[in-house]
Chains A and B, each alone.
Chain A
Amino acid sequence: RKEVEQDPGPFNVPEGATVAFNCTYSNSASQSFFWYRQDCRKEPKLLMSVYSSGNEDGRFTAQLNRASQYISLLIRDSKLSDSATYLCVVTANQAGTALIFGKGTTLSVSS
């Protein structure tokens, strides 16, 4: 079962770097898309929702390509505090009755 696929990483980058994460999903009926952040041994927390038109929140930019069933997250000017695992999440079906979580991509930002 590979409904949401992410490059597991780890991505090791210096402070100030720009890093991009990719995610693909298999269910064309998925309607809602999210990026969650999970710190080591902590609970996931919503980073941002992903909209068809793309959206930006400070240093974070999310893009959605429905035709390719592809989602991306771009982090600019990386900070030490960005070190975490980033989870790509999509609704499992058109009714939105379940979420499918990717395994996550781990980012480590070093000084």
Chain B
Amino acid sequence: NAGVTQTPKFRVLKTGQSMTLLCAQDMNHEYMYWYRQDPGMGLRLIHYSVGEGTTAKGEVPDGYNVSRLKKQNFLLGLESAAPSQTSVYFCASSKQGLTYEQYFGPGTRLTVT
């Protein structure tokens, strides 16, 4: 039981490049989330999903897109990376809503130059 996994763990992009971060969970959780964590700031919600085929915007969605084609996977895309998107990205999942424990992946450290 791997829990929540994220790939890649590290990535360096040049401004304007695109990439997709993959999150996978094997706990059969309905809810999945993408957060970013920046120095001196709390985790901020980018997008979330309450089930397969559904997504919704969080607090800081601009510049990101997401898809949840399979229940176990939640993809975060950056279409045209900007230096402001340099951050640590965490994926999380929970059994149901936010009153339930969120299980986080190990994070992806992204640097945009």
Residues of A whose CB lies within 8 Å of any CB of B are: 4, 31-32, 42-46, 49, 87, 91, 96-104
| CB of B34 within 8 Å of the partner chain | no
Closest to A1 in B: B59
Counting residue pairs across A and B whose Cβ atoms lie within 8 Å, the total is: 47
Are A91 and B42 in contact, CB atoms less than 8 angstroms apart?
no
Are A44 and B104 in contact, CB atoms less than 8 angstroms apart?
yes
12 further A-B contacts with Cβ under 8 Å, apart from A91-B98, A96-B99, are A32-B99, A43-B90, A43-B105, A43-B107, A44-B104, A91-B99, A97-B56, A97-B97, A98-B98, A101-B35, A103-B40, A103-B41
Q: Write out the residue numbers on chain A whose beta carbons fall within 8 Å of the beta carbon of B99.
A: 31-32, 91, 96
Closest to B44 in A: A101
Report the separation of the CA atoms of residues A45 and B99 in the bound assembly, to the nearest whole angstrom: 14
Closest to A93 in B: B98
Contacts A4-B42, A87-B42, A98-B59; A45 near B98 (Cβ below 8 A): no
| CB of B12 within 8 Å of the partner chain | no
- Interface residues on chain B, size class: 20 to 34
The contact of B98 among A43, A44, A97, A103, by CB within 8 Å, is A97
Are A45 and B42 in contact, CB atoms less than 8 angstroms apart?
no
Q: Write out the residue numbers on chain B whose beta carbons fall within 8 Å of the beta carbon of A91.
A: 98-99
Report the separation of the CA atoms of residues A32 and B98 in the bound assembly, to the nearest whole angstrom: 8
| CB of B51 within 8 Å of the partner chain | no
Q: Write out the residue numbers on chain B whose beta carbons fall within 8 Å of the beta carbon of A45.
A: 104
